[in-house]
Amino acid sequence: MKKNIYIFLFIAVVILLNACKKKPESKMIGLWQLVEYTNNEQVPPELKELYKKNIDDYVKSTSFYFKEDSVLYSIQKMDTAKGKWSVDKNLTSLEMYDDLQNSKAKVDIISVDDKTLKLRSKNENFEVNMKLEKVNK
């Protein structure tokens, strides 16, 4: 009888520990505000000021809402695009799919924690780096 109790307790503890484990992608869940955006695009000197203003406007008005059911909302100014998102098991790459434009993008996850998400996208000679901060709600 004692042996059965120990087996039952062991199974209960294992089930409880597995139920409490957070999946790596749970760090992504939530609303993230873009706070930094840089790229290596070469801009003519006469357009640098306008280009910087456009980037600043983009940063201020862009956020991403990663939902638990893999739905992604990309919000820029008053426009919202809906799609899907997924990450690899090591949390090193993020894949986003835009339903409206029927397009897919894959970016590297440089780092992610409870407050900050850093992403990088490389395409031949073009590189983009983004830093996002989690919005507490």
Chain segment 31-48, per-residue pLDDT in tens: 999 999 999 999 999 999
Predicted confidence (pLDDT) at residue 83 exceeds the cutoff of 90: yes
- Write out pLDDT tens, residues 112-135: 999 999 999 998 889 999 999 999
Of 59, 63, 69, 118, the residue nearest 94 (C-alpha): 118
Note the pTM of the prediction, 2 decimals: 0.78
CA angle 89, 29, 101 (to 5 degrees): 85
Mean of pLDDT over the chain: 85
- The pLDDT tens digits for 43-82 are 999 999 999 999 999 999 999 999 999 999 999 988 899 9
Q: Which residue has the higher pLDDT, 118 or 136?
A: 118
Per-residue pLDDT reduced to its tens digit, 2-25: 554 545 444 544 454 444 445 767
